[in-house]
Amino acid sequence: MKALVTGGGGFLGRVIIRQLRERGDEVRSLSRGRYPDLEKDGVECVQADLMDVAAVSKACEGVDVVFHVAGKVGLWGDYSDFLRANVEGTRNVLNACQDRGARRLVFTGSPSVVFDGRDVEGWDESAPYPERFDSYYSRTKAAAEEMVLSANGLRGLSTISLRPHLVWGPGDTSIAPRVIARAKAGKLRRIGGLNKKVDITYVDDAARAHLLAAARLEVSPSVAGKAYFLSQGDPRPLWEVVNGILAAAGLPPVERSVSLWAARAAAAGLELSYRALRRRDEPPLTRFLVTQLSTAHWFDISAARRDLGYEPSVPFEEGLKRYARWFKCQALKD
What is d(CA 152, CA 159) in angstroms, rounded to the nearest whole number?
Answer: 5
CA atoms within 13 A on the CB side of 103: 10
For residues 117 and 79, the answer to whether their CB atoms sit within 8 Å is no
What is d(CA 220, CA 329) in angstroms, rounded to the nearest whole number?
Answer: 42
Tell me whether strands 158-164 and 104-108 are parallel, antiparallel or unpaired.
Answer: parallel
Question: Which 8-state DSSP code applies to residue 245?
Answer: H
Question: Is residue 181 within a helix (H) or strand (E), and if so which, with residue range?
Answer: helix 175-184
- Give the residue from 227, 238, 118 showing the smallest Cα distance to 175: 238
What is d(CA 274, CA 56) in angstroms, rounded to the nearest whole number?
Answer: 35
Catalytic annotation on 137? yes
Tell me whether strands 2-6 and 65-68 are parallel, antiparallel or unpaired.
Answer: parallel
SS3 159: strand
Q: Which of 137, 202, 228, 310 is catalytic?
A: 137
SS3 38: helix
- Give the residue from 105, 98, 36 showing the smallest Cα distance to 70: 105
For residues 175 and 166, the answer to whether their CB atoms sit within 8 Å is yes
- Give the residue from 296, 297, 320 showing the smallest Cα distance to 195: 296
Question: Could you give phi then psi for residue 134, rounded to 5 degrees?
Answer: -90, -5
* Catalytic (active-site) positions: 137
